[in-house]
Amino acid sequence: MIERYVAEVERRLRLHGRRRRRVLDELEAHLRESAAQAGEAEAVRRMGTPADVAHAFTPRLTDRLFEQRDRAAALLMLAAMAASVPLALDLHGLNDRAGRSVAAYALFLAPTVAVALASNLMVLIGRPLGARLVPPLVVLVAATAAVTLFSLPPVDGVFAGYREAVSAGHESQGCGGRALAACAADHSDEIRINFTAGAIVLTALYVWAVSGWTPAMRRRRRELA
Amino acid sequence: MGRADVTGHLDLLLLAVLDEAPAHGYRVIETLRDRSGGAFDLPEGTVYPALHRLERSGLLSSSWDDSTPRRRRVYAVTRQGRRRLDGRRQEWTGFARAVQAVIAT
């Protein structure tokens, strides 16, 4: 009876590979344990119908997506960092033309990028280190955002170089008929503000997805304590 | 309490049982049934999907135990699972207190 039951579950089960094998082995082990106490008929009755059991192991797409939200957030952050590389190269090129170095800015950004990369990769391969790196990542992103938004060193040098290069006509795309200096100032402000806002929003999403933390949760826990 | 109400709290119940000691699925189901005086007598097939889901969420870990004649999959609560359990316990205690305050005569 147990073999027939497990075969029926196997026929209906929408899982593959190791997970499928594991589910079937566990169910059979459970049924045999239960049968040793109460007999095969009772063991099978208590388990539920094969259709119900097989269906219970097939989660809805939305549930699967929600369960994988940490990996999705990690992929999104990696994609955003990759998408930022052309801008970084552009800034480097323009600063080079203006006779300025971006090495100090690159060194400043390096810890944030390194921690973000490490956290994303660990989350993608399912290691707890990914979540443990979230607090230092938040601190680094906050520091980087503050320095960038308020145009503090070494960020100020990078955007000064950008403005000089644009004002000298090395990069005038999007300036139309405007004075290059004003255009350069606007563009540099847009880059600073938009990318910082994007980094903050993306980091907040990553924090929620990986740790499940929200300010409301913290307030609720304090109220219940 | 109806079966639908219990399955809504199944995660909390499973984490609480496994927090005491690692156990295989059959033992978990027995413990739930015994400690609730038979109130939580769920179809046993509903428990394994929940255990698997909790493991995929990082709240449980599991491994095969080959030390007994019958091979079993043993589950244990992770540190993340313990944190989640503490949070859910607090939420449940607060909720139960509030309900009791409202329905008490």
Phi-psi region of A58 (alpha: psi -120 to 50; beta: other; left: phi over 0): beta
* Closest chain A residue to the Cα of B56, Cα to Cα: A67
* Closest chain B residue to the Cα of A36, Cα to Cα: B70
State the burial class of residue A3 (Cβ atoms within 10 Å of its Cβ: 0-12, 13-18, 19+). exposed
**Residue among B70, B79, B94 whose CB faces A224 most closely:** B94
What is the pLDDT confidence band of residue B15, given thresholds at 50, 70 and 90? very high
Output the six-digit token pair for A79.
Answer: 């994609």
What Å distances lie between residue B7 and A27, A53, A77, A113, B50, CA to CA?
Answer: 19, 15, 35, 43, 9
Write out chain B residues lying below 8 Å of A225, CB-based: 90
Residue with tokens 């990318």: A195
List the one residue out of A201, A100, A215, A110 whose CA is nearest residue A160.
A100
Write out chain B residues lying below 8 Å of A27, CB-based: 45, 48
Residue contact A33–B45, C-beta within 8 A: no
What Å distances lie between residue A5 and A83, A92, A190, CA to CA?
Answer: 52, 66, 64
Residue contact B80–A131, C-beta within 8 A: yes
Write out chain A residues lying below 8 Å of B70, CB-based: 29, 32-33
pLDDT at B13: 92
Write out chain B residues lying below 8 Å of A23, CB-based: 48, 52
Residue contact A67–B52, C-beta within 8 A: no
For residue A4, the distance in angstroms to the closest alpha carbon of chain B comes to: 16
* Closest chain A residue to the Cα of B83, Cα to Cα: A211
For residue B21, the distance in angstroms to the closest alpha carbon of chain A comes to: 18
Residue with tokens 């400690």: B35
Listed in order, strand segments (DSSP E) in chain B are: 23-24, 60-65, 72-77
Residue contact A29–B80, C-beta within 8 A: no
pTM value is: 0.53
The b-or-e profile of B44-76 (16+ CB within 10 A means b, else e) is: bbbbbbbbbbbbebbbbebeeeeeeeeebbbbe
**Residue among A47, A67, A224 whose CB faces B44 most closely:** A47
Query: Cβ neighbours of residue A42 under 8 Å, at least 6 residues apart?
Result: A34, A35
What Å distances lie between residue B100 and A116, A220, B8, B104, CA to CA?
Answer: 46, 19, 19, 6
What is the pLDDT confidence band of residue A225, given thresholds at 50, 70 and 90? very low
Residue contact B25–A128, C-beta within 8 A: no
For residue A135, is the peptide bond before it cis, meaning its omega torsion is within 30 degrees of 0? no
Mean pLDDT calculated for residue range A45-68? 79
**Residue among A47, A59, A126 whose CB faces B45 most closely:** A47
What's the complex ipTM?
Answer: 0.82
* Closest chain B residue to the Cα of A32, Cα to Cα: B70
Q: What is the pLDDT of residues A157-175, one digit of tens each?
A: 777 777 777 777 766 566 6
Length of chain B: 105
Calculate the CA dihedral of residues A35, A38, A39, A44 and round it to 10 degrees.
-70
List the one residue out of A138, A157, A48, A151 whose CA is nearest residue A95.
A157
List the one residue out of A58, A60, A62, A57 whose CA is nearest residue A47.
A57
> Which range (A44-48, A111-115, B23-27, B39-43) has the least confidence?
B39-43
> Which range (A98-107, A147-156, A179-188, B59-68) has the least confidence?
A179-188
What is the pLDDT confidence band of residue A223, given thresholds at 50, 70 and 90? low
Write out chain A residues lying below 8 Å of B46, CB-based: 48, 56
Whether residue B40 has pLDDT greater than 90: no
pLDDT at B1: 44
* Closest chain A residue to the Cα of B70, Cα to Cα: A29
Whether residue A216 has pLDDT greater than 80: no
